Structure 1
Amino acid sequence: MKLKRFPLAAAVAALLLSTACTAARSEAGLADGPAAAGYPVTITNCGKEYRYSRTPSRVVVMNGGSVAEVSALLELGVADRIVANAQSYGASEVAGRVDAIKRLPTGNIALNDMSDIPREAMIGLTPDLVISAYDGGFRAEAGFATRDDLAAVGADTYAPKSSCGAVGTVTGTPSIEDSYALLRDLGAIFGVPERAERIIADSKAHIAGFGAKTANLPKQKVMVITPGMAMGGEFSSVGGNGIWNDILAKAGAVNAFAGATDQMFANLSREQVASADVDALLVVNYMSKDPDADARKLLAQFPQWDAAKNNRYVVLSDSIYLGPSNHLAVEKIARAVHPEAF
Structure 2
Amino acid sequence: MSINRPAAAALAAALCLLTAACGSSSDDKASDSTTEAAASKTGYPVTLDNCGQKQTFRKAPSRVVVMNGASVAEVSTLLALGLGDRIVANEQGYGMSEVAGRAAAIKKLPTGDIKLNDAYDIPREAMLGLRPDLVLSVTTYGFDQKNGFATREQLKQVGANSYVSPQGCDDDPSKMTVADSYQLLRDMGKVFNVSDRAEKLIAASEKNIAAVSDKVKGEKKPKVMVLFSNMTMGGNDFSSVFAHGIVNDILAKAGGANAFESAAKTTFADLSKEKVAATDVDAVVVMSYNDPDPAAYAKKLFKEFPQWPAARNNTYVTLSDSMYLGPSNDLAVEKVAKMLHPDAF
The bucket for the TM-score relative to the shorter chain is 0.7 to 0.9
Matched to 1:98, the amino acid is A
2:308 counterpart (280, 291, 305): 305
Q: Residue 230 of structure 1 aligns with which residue?
A: 232
Instruction: State whether structure 2 residue 49 is matched by structure 1 residue 47.
Output: no
User: Which protein shows a greater Rg?
Assistant: 2
- Give the AA of the match of 2:228: T
Cα distance between partner residues in 2 of 1:79 and 1:43: 21
Q: Which residue of 2 aligns with 1:275?
A: 278
Equivalent residue, structure 2, for 1:113: 118
Q: CA deviation at 1:296?
A: 0.8
- The structure-2 alpha-carbon separation of the partners of 1:155 and 1:228, relative to structure 1 and needing over 3 Å to count, comes to same
1:189 aligns with 2:191: yes
Q: Look up the equivalent residue of 2:68 and give its one-letter code.
A: N
Distance 1:205 1:233 in 2: 40
Aligned to 1:152: 157
Q: 1:104 aligns with which of 109, 113, 123?
A: 109
Letter in 2 for 1:276: T
Aligned-partner Cα distance in 1 for 2:115–2:274: 44
CA distance 1:330–1:74, shift in 2 (3 Å): same
**4+ aligned runs moved over 6 Å, structure 1:** 33-36
Q: For 1:54-133, what aligned pairs fall within 5 Å after superposition?
A: 54-133=59-138
Q: Distance in 1 between matches of 2:148 and 2:201?
A: 36
**Percent sequence identity over aligned pairs:** 57
Most deviating of 175-184 and 281-290: 281-290
Q: Secondary structure at the match of 2:167?
A: helix
Q: 1:279-312, CA deviations, whole angstroms, 9 ceiling, x for partnerless residues?
A: 1011111222321111011011112111111110
Q: TM-score with structure 2 length normalisation?
A: 0.86
> Which residue in 1 is equivalent to 2:204?
202
For the residues of structure 2 that align with 1:252 and 1:145, how far apart are their CA atoms?
43
Flag structure 1 segments of 5+ consecutive residues without an equivalent: 1-32
> Aligned match of 2:260 in 234, 238, 257?
257
Matched residue type, 2:211: G
Output the CA distance in 2 between the equivalents of 1:287 and 1:50.
33
- Distance between the aligned counterparts of 1:34 and 1:307, measured in 2? 56
| Deviation sequence 1:131-187 (CA, Å, 0-9, x none) | 11111100001110000110110101001121111xxx4256210001000000010
Task: Name the SS of the counterpart of 1:315 in structure 2.
Answer: strand
1:176 match: 178
Give the AA of the match of 2:236. G
- Classify the secondary structure of the residue corresponding to 1:51: strand
How many angstroms does 1:129 deviate by? 0.7
Q: Is 2:56–2:161's contact at 8 Å kept on the other side of the alignment?
A: no
C-alpha distance in 2, partners of 1:57/1:250?
37
Aligned to 2:20: none
| Paired residues of 1:35 and 1:54 also in contact (CA < 8 A) | no
* Equivalent AA in structure 2 for residue 132 of structure 1: S
Instruction: Name structure 2 gaps, 5 residues minimum.
Output: 1-37
Cα distance change, pair 292–217 in 1 and its aligned pair in 2 (3 A):
same
Letter in 1 for 2:315: R
| 2: CA distance, partners of 1:103 / 1:153 | 27
Asked if the contact 1:36–1:53 (Cα under 8 Å) also holds between the matched residues in 2, the reply is: no
- 1:266 aligned counterpart, secondary structure: strand
